[in-house]
């Protein structure tokens, strides 16, 4: 769920610079999985499974998970490319990656999952190196959203898919009222109880400034993706966007 960002000054209220974001995710790495489970009632695993399904992968293919956090979406992708495939998962938080590697040793995914430190805005992979690229709950941390999505599209071969799983803002009550209560009040309160109020105040602010579903689809189109579609799940709180890389 984390992401690499460029050196850039904050551009919106609540935005943090790269060193601050990295330090924040390093700091909360140990409680990250538990907080995700509490905040989503455990449903985040189901949402990642849906995103992995929409990547359209087959056995033997290579997949990339950007801003992997502790690796849960990468493990889902591993099941889609088995047998014979490979998953590469990147993040800029070394502590998150360390936890992901420990989880891999316990889970023993069906194909290798290689966890690597990388900047989401300058991925160290060749053009068309993967059949699909995903990002789960990390795109809102890109300081340059369009630049990050362009990088994801660049490393996917023609006809492959880019999948973005993200929290979105419901616009109509009663869900919008619940969302405001949960994300603007209860999540920061949980953060204070967990011992990191800043990190879990950053979460709602990052969601608020992220483009809505239609706007995100338009950004993906500007990045050269085609046949873009999105689905809203969890009553409209979660959006999964899928776009295909144009042929050469």
**Which residues are paired to 64 by β-bridges?**
88, 133
Among candidate residues 48, 53, 57, 52, the one with its CA nearest the CA of residue 160:
57
Cα distance between residue 39 and residue 34, in whole Å: 9
Cβ partners under 8 Å of residue 217, min gap 6: 228, 229, 230, 241, 243
Residues 205-233 pLDDT 10s = 788 889 999 999 999 999 999 999 999 99
Among candidate residues 139, 166, 109, the one with its CA nearest the CA of residue 223:
139
DSSP states of 17-45 as a string? Answer: -HHHHHHHHHHHHHHHHHHHHHHHTTTHH
- The two tokens of residue 224 are 């050269």
Query: How confident is the model over 21-30, as a mean pLDDT?
Result: 82
Burial 10-45 (b: 16+ CB within 10 A, else e): eeeeebbebeebbbbbbbbbebbbebbeebbeeebe
Among candidate residues 226, 245, 63, the one with its CA nearest the CA of residue 157:
245
Positive or negative: CA dihedral 118, 74, 93, 154: positive
Percent share of the chain, pLDDT over 70:
86
| Phi, then psi, of 93 in degrees rounded to 5 | -95, 110
- The rounded mean pLDDT for the chain is 87
Cα distance between residue 130 and residue 112, in whole Å: 15
Label residue 194 exposed, middle or buried (CB < 10 Å: 0-12, 13-18, 19+).
middle
Residues 81-112 pLDDT 10s = 999 999 999 999 999 999 999 999 999 999 99
Among candidate residues 78, 53, 74, the one with its CA nearest the CA of residue 161:
53
């Amino acid at each position: 769920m984390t992401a690499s960002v460029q050196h850039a000054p904050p551009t919106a209220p609540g935005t943090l610079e790269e060193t601050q974001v990295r330090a924040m995710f390093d700091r909360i790495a140990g409680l990250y999985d538990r907080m995700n489970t509490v905040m989503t009632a455990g449903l985040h695993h189901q949402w990642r499974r849906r995103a992995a399904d929409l990547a359209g992968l087959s056995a033997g293919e290579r997949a990339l998970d950007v801003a992997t956090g502790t690796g849960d979406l990468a493990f889902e992708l591993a099941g889609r490319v088995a047998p014979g495939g490979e998953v590469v998962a990147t993040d800029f938080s070394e502590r998150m990656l360390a936890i992901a590697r420990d989880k891999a040793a316990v889970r023993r995914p069906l194909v290798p999952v290689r966890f690597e430190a990388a900047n989401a805005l300058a991925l160290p992979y060749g053009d068309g190196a993967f059949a699909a690229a995903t990002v789960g709950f990390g795109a809102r941390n890109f300081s340059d959203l369009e630049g990050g999505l362009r990088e994801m599209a660049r490393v996917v071969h023609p006809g492959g898919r880019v999948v973005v799983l993200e929290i979105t803002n419901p616009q109509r009550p009663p869900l919008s009222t619940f969302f405001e209560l949960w994300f603007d009040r209860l999540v920061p309160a949980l953060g204070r109880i967990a011992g990191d109020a800043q990190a879990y105040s950053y979460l709602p602010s990052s969601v608020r400034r992220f483009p809505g579903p239609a706007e995100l689809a338009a950004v993906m189109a500007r990045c050269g993706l085609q046949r873009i579609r999105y689905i809203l799940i969890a009553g409209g709180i979660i959006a999964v966007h899928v776009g295909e890389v144009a042929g050469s």
